[in-house]
Amino acid sequence: MQPRYPQSYGSFQDRWNSLTTTQKIFVGIAGLILLYAFLGGVGIFGRLMDPGYLVAVATIIFVAFPVHEFAHAAMAVKLGDQTPEYQGRYTLNPLVHIDPMGAVLILFTGFGWAKPVQWNPRNVSIDPKVASILVSLAGPISNLVLAVIAMILWSSFLPQIDFVRRFIDFFVFINVLLFVFNLIPIPPLDGSHVLFALLPDDLYQFRVILGQYGMLLLLVIIFAGSQIILAPTVTIIEFLSGIFL
């Protein structure tokens, strides 16, 4: 009888070989981020002992991520493209949106992703470039709206106890962080689709280059230029707090 491990190894190799280059880069970056987290770069172990943080992360995975992807899908459907419906993504059901690696990252690093919604700009009833901007912005804006709703609930309805306060703080921070992060104009983030829609068509080569090196640029931003993300995140939270808290 053949041992079981060669078959398992082959299966893993098959799955790995089936990934695109971009997906392999995604996996590599995710692994580096997790390693960075475990080495103490983001103080993760302290957060993992905080019930408020754990509940906030669970809410992000099962509420915020589905809302984000549904917002993309809903905008595409509203503009005339039924692709998200055909693919089963026009729903708030978290099971169809969750990406395991993105969910793990949100736990250990504070940001992550869900499965991206696909849509076809050739099916929309308006200028495809305008549609690309609207569909792309719908997701990040939904995160900002969720942060505002959480602030309103905290200030008006929720019990003023420490656990709830910490849950709201983490939930608001992660949602605003996702809003800022997704607007970075680097592929494959939502902001890149907005940038590409605004660029002249004769800059096609620039799009190709940015697409090829986008993941590396994101890696640099995450590790070396985190303030590019954190500074506007804190500024937005302070602004919203002054209005809703």
Q: Which residues are catalytic?
A: 69
Write down the H helix ranges in the chain.
Answer: 5-18, 21-38, 44-48, 51-59, 65-78, 83-86, 100-109, 128-156, 162-182, 190-198, 204-224, 227-244
Measured between alpha carbons, how far is 76 from 101 in angstroms, rounded to an integer?
25
Rg from Cα positions in the chain? 19
Cα of first residue to Cα of last residue in the chain, in angstroms, is 67
Amino acid at 29: I
Helices 204-224 and 190-198 pack at an angle, to 10 degrees, of: 150
Quick check: helix, strand or coil at residue 226?
A: coil
How many Cα atoms sit within 13 Å of 216 on the Cβ side?
6
- Tokens of residue 21, six digits: 């280059």
How many Cα atoms sit within 13 Å of 191 on the Cβ side?
12
